[in-house]
A and B are shown apart, each in its own frame.
Chain A
Amino acid sequence: MDMLLQYLIVFVVGGTICLLAQILIIRTRMTSARILVLFELIGVFLQAVMLFEPIKQFAKAGITVPIIGFGASLARGAMEAVKEVGILGIFTGGLTATAAGIAAAVGFGYVFALIFRARSKKS
């Protein structure tokens, strides 16, 4: 029962974030690059003011799967690295924390682009 409730929370939180983004897309005709950057920055901000962790406790994948989680990882990486190694952390923290995601996206994207052919877009 608890598990069902958890999945419901994940669904509603994740869905609501996408719904807000969709409203922005329709109202302002923002491109997907702008939407991704905006929500990433929201994540960076939430982490910087220490709000991300409590939200994550509650919403789990509902907040970590949207790009907000990616932004929060960047900021958290920078903060933790600064705590550990000082100034160097400003430069290493963000990318180190998100290296897995970026490498996976670039690597898999590259391999699948080599394997698959572009299909003609039929609507």
Chain B
Amino acid sequence: MHFSHEHRQLFDTTKKFIETEVNPHVAEWERAGFWPAHEVLKKMGGLGLLGINKPESVGGLGLDYSYQVAFAEALGACACGALPMAIGVQTDMATPALARFGSDYLKDNYLKPAVAGDMVAAIAVSEAGAGSDVAGIKTTARRVGDEYVISGSKMWITNGTQADWACMLVNTGEGDRHGNKSLIVVPLDAKGIDRRQKLDKLGQRASDTAMIFLDEVKLPARHLIGAEGKGFTYQMQQFQEERLFLSASIVGSMEKVIDDTAAYTRQRRAFGQAILDNQYVQFRLAELKTEVEALRALTYRATDELVAGRDAALLCSMAKLKSGRLAREVTDGCLQFWGGQGYMWESSVAQFYRDLRLHSIGGGADEVMLGIISKRLGYGGKKKVG
């Protein structure tokens, strides 16, 4: 993946936006457990940042995914991990399937406003009893005449308390776990939806996360994305963007943690010298920087595959696995060098220690990535994993 002048400009605009419009509010949003998604996304929509790779017919730019990766990487300038994730939900988790398979009606009424920043979107796949085991979800949509009637619940839904609609995976039939599911656009103000419960999380506290209950929610059948029974397949495809986005978005966060650690240890003295004067600290930070650079190379390679239209699942899964694991190594290793200061809730390294921990769990846990990678490499395992 080559960074052209336009990639660079997009990166600069995004970074400037994050530093000016987001970072000054992060501490306040962290305390509130809430970010003003409508306000922030509306501004981003105005800059064309929410439809980078979406078709021009819905107000997007129609650019290839490498631009989206440049955007994701620039989000790493954020002072916390919650916002890049919450923004990514709008651009890369809730909307790719809709853009690919949605009807004109759905695109006009839900995708277009999401690209403009007029509507906030959520992705609703996980349930209390089924996270990484996507096929194990229990929420069902029964077809009754021209309507779907949905019942069940969804768990850990980012932006869930304020989103206008969710791209929801539901069971629309019996039988084969992978052939009985569908994606449906669910307006979250529909009758029968209760999403009052805001979840209390270890990290990523600036974004609101909800549990959503659906009790006989009736929706017109035209809210179905693409074909009935194709939901699992669409979701697996949609996961590629999600996973690549997640990898790219924390490359910058990790670099920030390492740079902040170098700056802190340069001025913090112990035993008559700066902490950074210890070769052990220098070598550790140098090694972590090298690892992050290697992850970036892997992410770019996965991007190239995706842009070329080839099956990128193997590389996207590898990037996702590596980014989650490396984030844990970087934040834990750096926090150690901060000593007691690093253990303080408000220190930047503690912020990322909490926030980036999610990356080995959300968007498909490390173990699920390992399952996909093993299977793709032919190491065995007939079980279908997502």
Do these two chains interact? no
B interface vs A, CB < 8 Å? Answer: none
A interface vs B, CB < 8 Å? Answer: none
